[in-house]
């Protein structure tokens, strides 16, 4: 959940800004097909969907961490 452009967010993660070791090692590229359909969403929509989408992505084999 971020207000940043996905490319900028990805670059910051790769640079170690608000990132984790797993992402720095294994984060290779963005997959726009996974997120383009969700942009833009209001904050309330994001809050209600974040857990559900995280569970779905984790079930599909993606590394997902959320608060």
Is the confidence at residue 59, as pLDDT, over 90? yes
pLDDT score recorded for residue 29:
92
**Res. 30 pLDDT band, cuts 50 70 90:** very high
Is the confidence at residue 1, as pLDDT, over 60? yes
Encode burial over 30-47: b for 16+ CB neighbours within 10 A, e otherwise. Answer: eeeeeeeeeeeeeeeeee
pLDDT score recorded for residue 66:
72
Closest by CA position to 38, among listed 30, 49, 28, 27: 49
| Strand blocks (E) in 1-67 | none
Locate 41 and state its tokens: 């969403």
pLDDT score recorded for residue 38:
83
């Amino acid at each position: 959940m971020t207000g940043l452009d996905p490319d900028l967010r990805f670059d910051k993660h790769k640079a170690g800004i608000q990132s984790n070791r797993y992402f720095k090692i294994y984060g290779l590229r963005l997959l726009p097909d996974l997120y383009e359909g969700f942009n833009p969403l209001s904050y309330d929509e994001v809050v209600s969907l974040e857990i559900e989408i995280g569970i779905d992505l984790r079930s599909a084999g993606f590394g997902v961490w959320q608060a």
